[in-house]
Structure 1
Amino acid sequence: MLTRFVTKRSPMSTKHAFHAGERKIHQAFGIEQQMQDIGSRVIRDFMPQQHSDFYQQLPFILLGHVDVRGRPWASMLTGQKNGQFIFAPDNKHLDIEASAIAGDELQYLDVGQRVGMLGIELHTKRRNRLVAELQRDSGWQWAFSVIQSFGNCPKYIQLRELSWIPTTERQPIRKQAIKQLDKASKALIRQADTFFVASYFVDEQQLDLASNGADVSHRGGEPGFVEVADSGLLTIPDYAGNHMFSTLGNIESNGKAGLLFVDFENGHLLSMTGKAWVNWQTPQPEQYPAAERLWHFQPSQGYWLYNALPFRFSRS
């Protein structure tokens, strides 16, 4: 049975800022010591004040989590217009007042489970990430304790402005399960310039490692940067980044990922989980400009959440 990151009640081990899957990649590129030095400085077990302030002003937040079958999912929690919904009582805790979107896998999250969190502002290109443990869940009040906190650069974030939809104009949320990508799914992915990816790592022998847990990350590029085969296989270019290799390190360890695509104009969400693997060979530049490598995703389960968001986005 998969251990869903329900942690032991002992002090977190912080010997390594990165887990074995990430360090294996660092070793292959000859940057292990460099990244360990960087990680010890930028990956903290608390939120700096500017991060605490940042999360509390967000209208939505992304979460990466794992279901009982060991499948990762990326989900979104949203607030309401003119109302704060994320609170930081101190630099080690985040409280969220929101319900999971109807039909989303996040509704099955367990107390004690570790999740990845991504706070992102599309109109400023700011983003910060957390690994946190769910301490309390009342159905609409979530209390998390911070395990790891770090910032991300603004690379590849597409500028967008958010506008709220009046309550009277919102349509009921509707869920449609899919086993494979349908015509609408392929169309959304082929024109997307943004998606979010969930992944995870767990060392069953050392459950107290701070580097254990789920993660959720942003991926962006020019519209159409994700290639969709007729079979539903996705090919994603991987561009130069911070060399942490959080997502790819997780994928290398277990071959799984969960992807979330947002229909920014209509407020729909497309969520999928499935197999993932990395092709470390440098791709042809004429086919994948600026890509350093490719990774692939084959969905095995997914769903649409129509009318899921209380806001819309327009390109800046």
Structure 2
Amino acid sequence: MSVYHAGSRALQDQVGVRGRADHVGRSLGQDIKPVAAAFLEQQPLLIVGGPDPETGRVWAHALTGTPGFVRATGPRRVSVHTAHAFGRGITVGTIALDPRTRRRMRVNGRLTPTATGFTVDADQVFANCPRYIQRRESYETVDRSPGVSRHLTGLGDEEAEFVRAADTFFLATVNAAGADASHRGGNPGFVQVASPRELTWPDYPGNAMFLSLGNLYADPRAGLLFLDWETGSTLQLTGEARTGFAEDGTRTVRFTLTEALWTPNALPLRWSAPEYSPANPEPAR
């Protein structure tokens, strides 16, 4: 049985990478191996993406804690200690990204709330290459109180500049069987603000799986998360995204905003300055 659904297959065939995708797809499994479990327990940050059970809108959330707040508690189960509440039985995609080592790991599955947070029973467990991840040598936990969150229906000047300055964001997508959370990176300016309700970014060459774009091909709902690695401020966006293909083979994703949530000083982590990935292309002017 293929690890890919019809949306991913359609894009793999359109780009002509089905064979490569089949090879890479062998890395997708359900078991959390010891090296993956050890990696999870070292992380102070976890991104969780999925649909809101009441509105159906897709969001990406940043969770933080003392390393060990995320841990494997079974061969196919991850437990997360957090005060953030999620609905019972929803499907989620999670990604743990470590800027210190430029490693990332994704666990997708079904979420169950617990007395101390939630568990995720894994359907997919896999790692990705370090391409487009900015290296940040260290972080510190700071005593920081989150500011008052603001709900927005369009980006103002402050939020637009926040997006333009970003070298990283996280993308949550869904399909009929589950959800996925992935990383997007590039030099500042790689995400462009076309209008207060529209963003665009280039889809750089990757692992040929087309998990995120395959989801968007079948279901355009998407959630974006931008974070300031120094101040901890976050900008969460929900809306719809679609991929355009140019004659030269390049791909551009266009995101239309439905709602946004801006939270100053949301996260208690302060990371060191970035060393940009050598794989990053120069942004288009």
| Shared fold per TM-score greater than 0.5 | yes
| Structure 1 length-normalised TM | 0.82
Q: Size of the alignment, in residue pairs?
A: 273
How far off its partner does 1:162 sit?
4.0
Alpha-carbon distance, 1:255 to partner = 1.6
Give 1:302's aligned amino acid. Answer: A
Match of 1:238 in 2: 203
Shift of 1:145: 1.1
Distance 1:281 1:172, change over 3 A: closer
Q: Distance in 2 between matches of 1:163 and 1:35?
A: 35
For 2:145, give the aligned amino acid.
Answer: Q
Q: Report what 2:218 is aligned to.
A: 253
Among 7, 14, 17, the alignment partner of 1:31 is 17
What residue in structure 2 maps to residue 313 of structure 1?
Answer: 271
Contact in 2 for aligned 1:111/1:137 (Cα 8 Å): no
One-letter amino acid matched to 1:311: L
**Structure 2 counterpart of 1:120, one-letter code:** L
2:164 maps to what in 1?
190
Distance of 2:163 and 2:15 partners within structure 1: 31
User: Partners of 2:41 and 2:229 in 1: how far apart?
Assistant: 22
For 2:122, the equivalent position in structure 1 comes to 146
CA distance change for structure 1 residues 85 and 235 in 2, over 3 Å: closer, same or farther? same
Question: In structure 2, do the counterparts of structure 1 residues 131 and 293 end up closer, same or farther at CA, with 3 Å as the change threshold?
Answer: same
Residue equivalent to 2:134:
158
Aligned equivalents of 2:201 and 2:114: distance in 1?
A: 35
Q: 1:281 is matched with which residue?
A: 246
CA distance in 2: counterparts of 1:96 and 1:223, whole angstroms: 31
Q: In the alignment, residue 106 of structure 2 is paired with which amino acid?
A: R
SS in 2 for 1:44: coil
Aligned to 1:117: 94
- Partner Cα distance (1:36, 1:217) in 2: 19
Per the TM alignment, residue 33 of structure 1 is displaced from its structure 2 partner at its CA by 4.2
1:46 corresponds to:
31
Q: Which runs of 5+ in 1 are unaligned?
A: 1-14, 101-106, 203-211, 284-290
Tell me if the contact between 1:275 and 1:299 (Cα under 8 Å) persists in the aligned partners. yes
Root-mean-square deviation (Å): 1.7
Alignment of 1:16 with 2:2, yes or no, is: yes
Change (3 A) 1:191 1:282: farther
Deviation at residue 163 of structure 1 after TM alignment: 2.9
Residue 282 of structure 1: CA displacement? 4.8
Query: Aligned equivalents of 2:69 and 2:193: distance in 1?
Result: 36
The yes-or-no answer on 1:95 pairing with 2:95 is no
Identity %, equivalent residues: 35
Q: Which runs of 5+ in 2 are unaligned?
A: 275-285
Cα deviation 1:208-233 (Å, max 9, x = unaligned): xxxx2111110000111111123431
Moved over 6 A (4+): none
Q: 2:255 is matched with which residue?
A: 297
Check whether the contact 1:49–1:91 (CA below 8 A) recurs between aligned residues: no
Which has the larger displacement, 28-37 or 227-236?
28-37
Partner of 1:268: 233
Counterpart check, 1:86 vs 2:70: yes
Question: Relative to structure 1, is the Cα distance of residues 172 and 240 closer, same or farther in structure 2, using a 3 angstrom cutoff?
Answer: closer
Specify which of 126, 151, 155 is matched with residue 103 of structure 2. Answer: 126
